[in-house]
Amino acid sequence: MTASRHSNRIQFYIFAMASLFFTLDVLAQTAVPGQIVVTLRATELRSDKLGSAPVLSGLASGMRLRLISAEGGWTLVETASSSDKSSPKMTGWVRASSVNWQTAASNVSKLVSGREAAGNTALTLGVRSMPPRVNRHALIIGISRYADATVPSLPGAKIDKESATQMAQAMQVPASNIRYLQDDQATGNNIRQALQDLTAQVQDGDRVFIHYSGHGTRYNDPVAGGCVEALLAYDGGSSGMITNHEMADLLKTITNKTDKLFVMYDACHSGGLAQAATSVRTRGILNLNDEGLLRPKFASLSEECGRPVNVKTRNLLVETTATGVLPQDIIHVSASRDNEISFDDEQKGGLATQYMRDCMLRDAVDLDNSGAISMDEIRQCAQVKINKRMANDVNFKPHNLVLNGNAAFVPAWFSQPSAVAVVTPVALPLTSPVVASPVVPIPAALTGEKALLQMFDQRDAKRRVQVTAGKDKLKIGQDTLDFSVQSDRAGYVYVALAGSDNKALYLLFPNDLDQNNKIEANQTIQLPRPNWRVKAGGPAGMDNLLVMVADAPRDLTALAANKAGPFVSSFNDAQGRAKLGALMTSSQLVVSQSCLNVLTRRNNPLCSDAYGAAMLAIEETK
């Protein structure tokens, strides 16, 4: 298509830098793999990015380290070469706060680009999180021991608290919005109360992450007419079991408010071989692929219902959608299928949690070259790690992660790192982690339509947007684009277009000629307006439009340098799509003082990141 005020067909030029994000401070953001950093104080080198992980070595203040990666408040480093042959290099994790980043800041400052204050900082290090946002919340529940001494303990559930916190931080949840229930705190009634408190705290358009690590169970319920699945709270008994049906009821009010609800159960609902192997009730199972000991995350309360079954059960998504919640707005990850058992590693936590954490923070690959990592890409990455961990085990096969709901959900917008840490094998102690160069497959080609569909998949389905085309076919050089937009809520209209040449992507509205993009509830507006008509300019094929109605305005000033006439333009590549996605899905006012204030934030749509959206296809013909 072409704008009537400009003779040449509009071309799109997407942004040259990716949006990869920080968890610490600006100096940490500008770190690059291979740089030398120095310890600020005496600290410990650990085998994993967990305060409970085994200590590999003590590190003195002022010690030089080679940076490999930084994520979740930790840095993966390699000790520098030593003239002492008896002290080989070691690779492990130290807390990021123990490292002096000043030593390298000047060397990499030229890499910084974009609006740093808003978190749109271009980096070459795969730190995949953005600054905290007040409209994000988390409830993290972990039960490593139970009131009933006959219920097997799960030592790794304590470690899952740290891992789940890192996941929450990657999803921009501020520390003040994370609530924990651990062990004897996690009674059935306390969990119910915490969910009620969360309901009261969450505002319309907020995002919520709930993580549960503990035992799952299955028991016979005559009222339900058979076996039901449940989470086993600390106290057990009738009040200490929360079924999927009850959980769906508890979550209903939250899901009616939230933009997205992400629930992860690191538990299983099937006993399987765990019941036959009586020894696992008192000690862990040795797995030769790792130094850790594994424990099944299942507590048997019913012989009849504890056996693995190959029948469909009513999982949390089924129960939740039965209450009227739209599957687009909920993401549910289970550690295993309903006829499998999942495992807890005594030293590193649940296999599902630790690997989902690693893939979310670093290891997942942008398989479709979309510019962001989806939940399904994170799941695929974690499943590979589980399969490797359980390979050749004489007793157990790998359990399979199950993702229900919106598999296209993007926890945080970032593109594939432009520089990947390549680690040369060194002589490491037997307890040190093995760090290998990640294998990055060649991304699949992505059309402009699919690029817009990924942003469409992040919409809040409760917000209804209707777009109607004046004509669904436009004759090249003759017809002009014409469509109407209606929304059930007031907001701000944004229109992105993927051109028929499959190269062009641009922000059609608002633009330099028309900044009035406010729409009232149930109002219908016609676009384009008379002062910026857009004429079909070819080539023949399909134009695809994404029309968003956001609760709050977006700050697009970072895109101002990329122009095609009055319109913002960009290259349709992974890095550009990451930048566009990060800006279009985030309210510029969430960081304002009015949104940070608890009283003024309440029921204020300007503090919401949520948006409704619709897609429209227009054919250009000769």
Q: Residue 440 domain-assigned?
A: no
Angstrom distance (rounded) from CA 190 to CA 436: 43
Least confident among 78-92, 222-236, 462-476, 497-511: 78-92
For residue 559 the two structure tokens come to 């895109």
Q: How large is the average pLDDT for residues 478-489?
A: 97
Q: Residue 573 domain-assigned?
A: yes
Residues 49 and 93 in one domain: yes
With a pLDDT cut of 70, the percent of the chain lying above it is 73
Q: Specify the DSSP class assigned to residue 554.
A: -
Residues 235 and 150 in one domain: yes
Least confident among 27-31, 61-65, 144-148, 452-456: 27-31
Amino acid residing at 594: S
Residue among 614, 599, 600 at smallest CA distance from 550: 614
Residues 142 and 79 in one domain: no
Partners of 357 in beta bridges: none
**What pLDDT is stored for residue 229 in this prediction?**
82
Q: What stretch of H or E contains 194?
A: helix 188-201
Partners of 399 in beta bridges: none
Task: For Cα atoms 171, 173, 178, give the angle at the middle one, nearest 5 degrees.
Answer: 130
The answer to whether residue 440 scores a pLDDT higher than 80 is: no
Residues 91 and 148 in one domain: no
The angle that helices 351-358 and 375-390 make with each other, rounded to 10 degrees, is: 130
Least confident among 17-21, 94-98, 426-430, 477-481: 17-21
CATH code for the domain in which residue 323 is found: 3.40.50.1460
Q: Cβ distance 378 to 386 under 8 Å?
A: no
Residues 57 and 144 in one domain: no
Q: Cβ distance 409 to 585 under 8 Å?
A: no
Residues 114 and 151 in one domain: no
Angstrom distance (rounded) from CA 335 to CA 8: 54
Least confident among 115-119, 160-164, 440-444: 115-119
Q: Domain boundary at 353, 385, 405, which?
A: 405
Q: What stretch of H or E contains 372?
A: none
Residues 102 and 13 in one domain: no
Angstrom distance (rounded) from CA 301 to CA 281: 13
Distance between first and last Cα of the chain? 13
Q: Domain boundary at 405, 421, 456, which?
A: 405
DSSP 427-457: ---TTSPP------PPPPP--HHHHHHHHHT
Residues 78 and 145 in one domain: no
Q: Residue 131 domain-assigned?
A: no
CATH code for the domain in which residue 85 is found: 2.30.30.40
Q: Specify the DSSP class assigned to residue 286.
A: E
Residues 150 and 298 in one domain: yes
Residues 249 and 375 in one domain: yes
Q: Specify the DSSP class assigned to residue 1.
A: -
Angstrom distance (rounded) from CA 130 to CA 591: 12
Q: Specify the DSSP class assigned to residue 514.
A: B
Angstrom distance (rounded) from CA 481 to CA 350: 53
Angstrom distance (rounded) from CA 358 to CA 383: 12
**What pLDDT is stored for residue 1 in this prediction?**
60
**For residue 500, how many other CB atoms are within 10 A of its CB?**
23
How does the average pLDDT of the chain come out, rounded? 77
The answer to whether residue 119 scores a pLDDT higher than 50 is: no
Q: Cβ distance 549 to 519 under 8 Å?
A: yes
Residue among 117, 111, 129 at smallest CA distance from 418: 111
**What pLDDT is stored for residue 293 in this prediction?**
66
Q: Could you tell me the sign of the dihedral formed by the alpha carbons of 350, 354, 360, 361, in that order?
A: positive
Q: Residue 417 domain-assigned?
A: no
Q: How large is the average pLDDT for residues 464-480?
A: 96
pLDDT, tens digit (0-9, with 9 covering 90-100), for 529-557: 999 999 999 899 999 999 999 999 998 88
Q: Residue 414 domain-assigned?
A: no
The answer to whether residue 605 scores a pLDDT higher than 60 is: yes
DSSP alpha helix (H) spans, 500-547: none
Q: Residue 438 domain-assigned?
A: no
Tell me the pairing of strands 330-334 and 402-405.
antiparallel
Angstrom distance (rounded) from CA 273 to CA 294: 13
Residues 181 and 325 in one domain: yes
Q: Residue 242 domain-assigned?
A: yes
Confidence of residue 50 (pLDDT cuts 50, 70, 90): confident
The answer to whether residue 114 scores a pLDDT higher than 50 is: no
**What pLDDT is stored for residue 70 in this prediction?**
73
Confidence of residue 74 (pLDDT cuts 50, 70, 90): confident
Q: Residue 432 domain-assigned?
A: no
**Who has greater pLDDT, 83 or 213?**
213
Is residue 420 packed enough to be buried (19+ CB in 10 Å), middle (13-18) or exposed (0-12)? middle
Residue 329, SS3? helix
The angle that helices 448-456 and 574-584 make with each other, rounded to 10 degrees, is: 30
**What pLDDT is stored for residue 11 in this prediction?**
30
**What pLDDT is stored for residue 341 in this prediction?**
79
Q: Which domain holds residue 606?
A: 2-18+445-621
The total domain count for the chain is 3
Residues 254 and 370 in one domain: yes
Tell me the pairing of strands 504-509 and 491-498.
antiparallel
Question: What's the 3-state SS for 107-157?
Answer: HHHHHCCCCHHHCCCCCCCCCCCCCCCCCEEEEEEECCCCCCCCCCCCCHH
**Who has greater pLDDT, 66 or 111?**
66
**What pLDDT is stored for residue 261 in this prediction?**
95
**What pLDDT is stored for residue 13 in this prediction?**
25
Q: Domain boundary at 118, 149, 172, which?
A: 118
Q: What are the distances in angstroms from CA 452 to CA 15, 339, 502? A: 16, 37, 12
pLDDT, tens digit (0-9, with 9 covering 90-100), for 271-329: 433 333 333 333 344 445 555 566 666 665 555 565 544 333 446 666 666 666 677 89
**Who has greater pLDDT, 434 or 500?**
500
CATH code for the domain in which residue 548 is found: 2.60.40.2550
The answer to whether residue 587 scores a pLDDT higher than 60 is: yes
